[in-house]
Amino acid sequence: MNNSACIGYAILACKALGMTRDELQKLESAMLSILDRYTEDEAEDAYRNN
């Protein structure tokens, strides 16, 4: 999966939860930073251990 698809899924989930446009923009910014900082394996571990 590429970064755009990953962020797109997150945005769709946030919209389903009723988050504001400002919150969505903050999420996108944070995700771009996180996607550059962590590997896919680290992200999977974070999901499994949450």
pLDDT, tens digit, 9 for 90 and up, residues 10-46: 999 999 999 999 999 999 999 999 999 999 999 999 9
Domain count, the chain: 1
State residue 16's pLDDT score: 98
What is the reported pLDDT for 40? 93
φ/ψ bin of 18: left (φ > 0), alpha (ψ from -120 to 50), beta (otherwise): left
pLDDT at 1: 84
The whole-angstrom separation of Cα 46 and Cα 40 is: 10
pLDDT of residue 25: 95
Q: Supply the range of the domain harboring residue 16.
A: 3-48
Q: In this structure, what token pair is assigned to residue 35?
A: 């996607």
What pLDDT, on the 0 to 100 scale, is given for residue 31? 95
